[in-house]
């Protein structure tokens, strides 16, 4: 039996496990994520895959933080594996913890496998997160993609590794989501085939297409394909952080200046950044989340799909 609370952040769903998660013990969140993946992966599939979940659902396991200055620890995962950080999921978790009475308005610290992030709960639904340090690793990398030809983009870290294209192969509209998904998947496979990675050989597992905004007060519109083949309904918190890092590196966005990022469905984040003492880009993302359900997930040992349908 597992107790979960579901929310969405600007359209992108998060399922927070609040009871009945795997027994991971103490230690760093990175180490506990490793134990989760190696010994308890059936909990991940049980929580987010069909028949209890669906491809777009991102899970978050609520943990006791190792750092006692933090209000919570979070380990993020999806239909195929584990994430380093998740911006929309952190916003969703903050609103959910407030719904549970665990935190109130104000600034809190959450521990994640890639570091501690700051969370400012501004109201019942609005949250600003200050993400981990983000950076552009490589600029204007071109890869040959079957069916698309030469595609150029930047490689950047925003808590996950992204390839951020300089334009889009299809209009960034909901009607074009199937075509955008196929194109982004082709880019991801082409990067892997060409041996193009993030720092230290890390796989690039998020593809981000960019185009002009629809709203007059926005600065850009994106489509983000996540590992596992689902697109992000929100503008993607770690993807927007990676975009801010690229803009900062290019001298196109000043510290403290707002960048309004639309998603392919029209939802938005407001992003900005500061530089820390070492000069690193520290992005912040403001968005809204809403709690949509509370549930108890049950496991029948006679169920042939008791631990969820796992992608082939």
Specify whether 86 is catalytic: yes
Residue 178, classified by CB atoms within 10 Å of its CB into exposed (0-12), middle (13-18) or buried (19+), is exposed
* CB-based burial, 35-63: b 16+ in 10 Å, e otherwise: ebeeebbebbbbbbbeebbebbbbbbbbb
| Active-site hit among 63, 70, 226, 236 | 236
Query: What is the spatial distance between Cα 67 and Cα 245, in angstroms, rounded to a whole number?
Result: 27
- Give the number of other CB atoms < 10 A from CB of residue 179: 13
| Active-site hit among 63, 86, 226, 246 | 86
* CB-based burial, 110-147: b 16+ in 10 Å, e otherwise: bbbbbbbbbbbbeeebbbbbbbbbbbbbeeebebebee
Catalytic residues: 86, 236
């Amino acid at each position: 039996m597992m107790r979960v609370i579901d929310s969405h952040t600007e359209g992108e769903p998060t399922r927070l496990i609040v009871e009945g998660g795997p027994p991971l013990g103490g230690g760093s969140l990175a180490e506990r994520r490793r134990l989760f993946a190696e010994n308890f992966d059936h909990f991940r599939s049980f929580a987010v895959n069909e028949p209890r979940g669906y491809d777009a659902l991102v899970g978050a396991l609520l943990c006791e933080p190792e750092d006692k200055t933090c209000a919570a620890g979070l380990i993020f995962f999806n239909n195929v594996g584990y994430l380093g950080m998740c911006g929309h999921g952190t916003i969703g978790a903050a609103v959910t913890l407030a719904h549970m009475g665990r935190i109130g308005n104000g600034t809190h610290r959450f521990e994640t496998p890639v570091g501690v992030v700051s969370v400012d709960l501004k109201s019942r639904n609005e949250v600003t997160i200050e993400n981990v340090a983000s950076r552009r690793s490589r600029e204007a990398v071109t890869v040959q993609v079957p069916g698309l030809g030469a595609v150029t983009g930047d490689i950047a870290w925003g808590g996950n590794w992204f390839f951020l294209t300089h334009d889009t192969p299809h209009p960034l509209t909901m009607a074009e989501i199937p075509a955008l998904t196929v194109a982004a998947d082709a880019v991801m496979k082409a990067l892997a085939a060409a041996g193009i990675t993030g720092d230290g050989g890390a796989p690039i597992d998020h593809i981000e297409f960019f185009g002009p905004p629809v709203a007059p007060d926005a600065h850009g519109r994106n489509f983000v394909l996540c590992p596992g083949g689902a697109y992000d309904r929100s503008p993607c918190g770690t993807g927007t952080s990676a975009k801010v890092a690229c803009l900062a590196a290019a001298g196109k966005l000043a510290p403290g200046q707002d960048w309004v990022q639309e998603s392919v469905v029209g939802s938005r984040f407001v992003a900005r950044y500061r530089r820390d003492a070492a000069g690193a880009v520290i992005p912040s993302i403001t968005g809204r989340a809403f709690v949509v359900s509370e549930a108890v997930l049950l496991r029948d040992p006679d169920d042939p799909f008791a631990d969820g349908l796992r992608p082939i």
